[in-house]
Structure 1
């Protein structure tokens, strides 16, 4: 994110990227090493995945990737959406996390192999490791998300007497910063651990291939002028010393 992005103001005069700046995300934040190395993956949850919701987004073939597969509680999914939107908010550059479909991306990952840590070593004993030792919890990622979302709601109620989705943006930021600063108790994990996973998942959903449910209409790539998955580049493009704008392509394009 550029300095100009951080300085852009909304109609109320407050920075749309204020949370990113205050929480340290603009400088990279604190990311647990190795936590999300295997995040991208296809869903293999089984028959239950198609019955999670009957909302209108499943009616269009063009929106087949915007159907819930893990969450069966719409309130939890909406809370997740608003939390990701505060991490990656809409501004003059383009859509935020919700507009990019990031909540659906996370939902699909939780329903798949990543959500059950299918590629991780899962034998105990489990001890709290050093930062450079990466993920050490016995909890699976979908359990961490369940506990984290529940903790966000409880902390919001206890602090502001309102649920997270009823709070204005500034108060939502306060809640998320408290999680990043380990000021919230979550059984079995540090709140900053959940926040880092949420942050990393949000960024991956914004910039991953649309095939995985996020980066809707490749808008994340378009904001960064990233060409996506090109089948090939011409000799002129390779040899050019000037910036060449290329219409982005996704795995959807290469498969069709």
Structure 2
């Protein structure tokens, strides 16, 4: 273990046994998304859509944890992607790894997924301030739904000592996805509120106009195997 002194996490790949996951797609304002869009991405035609994802990993390289993430649908080279804007994890090693290896805009905070009867309540925030709250009720079990995007992206800044001409990189990720045969899928309905934040990480700047889609799944093992550079700017 001497190679772990001063380190927060192990080398890739990172493994995850998922407990449950919720993904809510909602309509917001193009005027709110446009300033958040890196210059190498475009907004899709049609309604401006953003996504809140909440996941409870029962076991992982970083231990069990809950993560809640906010992203937007964007277009890169003709393909629709989920561009991650911010996120909160209950795991410090998972947060450090996501920021350092993937450039993900993550923070350590409070996040929970709790069932009360037939309603799943999800909350995320920091320092006792709620950033997001979500109530979900399942409706019916379905086959694996067709996704709205082909992959995810995030922006990382190059270290200043590299003296690179282009300081920002758009990263994609390689992964071993879970086997759908090991998962169970449901549709549902949801009430979503983005109600707070702090300076520099204000989730409430995205108005929730309408919840478009709610998907829920349980089970499955996955692994993240490494990020890669899509483009620089």
TM range (shorter): under 0.3
Structure with greater helix percent: 1
TM-score, reference length from structure 2: 0.25
The alignment's TM-score, normalised by the length of structure 1, stands at 0.24
Question: Greater relative contact order: 1 or 2 (C-alpha under 8 angstroms, separation 6 or more)?
Answer: 2
Larger Rg over CA atoms: 1
